[in-house]
Amino acid sequence: MGVKTMPLVHIDLLEGRSEEQLKALVKDVTAAISKDANVPAERIHIVLNEMKPSHYSVGGTLKSDQ
């Protein structure tokens, strides 16, 4: 049975990580999905959404105010 799916992964995180950290993140996530879902790495799509701390809140307080 051939896998014909295209996993699309959205990752939301606060901005501030280096390009090297983001590269490592997508590499590790891709490897895990490929292994656990039996999907070729080239079919896995990842979207990184980086948010400003002033655009994210926990408990009614902006992260930029913490």
- Catalytic positions are 7
Give the sign of the dihedral formed by CA 5, CA 35, CA 18, CA 61. positive
Mean pLDDT to the nearest integer, 8-29: 98
Mean pLDDT to the nearest integer, 15-26: 98
Is 8-62 in CATH node 3.30.429.10?
A: yes
Q: Is the pLDDT of residue 3 over 60?
A: no
Q: Residue 6 — very low, low, confident or very high, per pLDDT cuts 50/70/90?
A: confident
Domain residue extents for the chain: 8-62
21: left (phi over 0), alpha (psi -120 to 50) or beta: alpha
pTM to 2 decimals? 0.84
pLDDT at position 2 is: 56
Q: Residue 46 — very low, low, confident or very high, per pLDDT cuts 50/70/90?
A: very high
* CA–CA separation, 61 and 45 (whole Å): 32
Three-class SS of residue 61?
Answer: strand
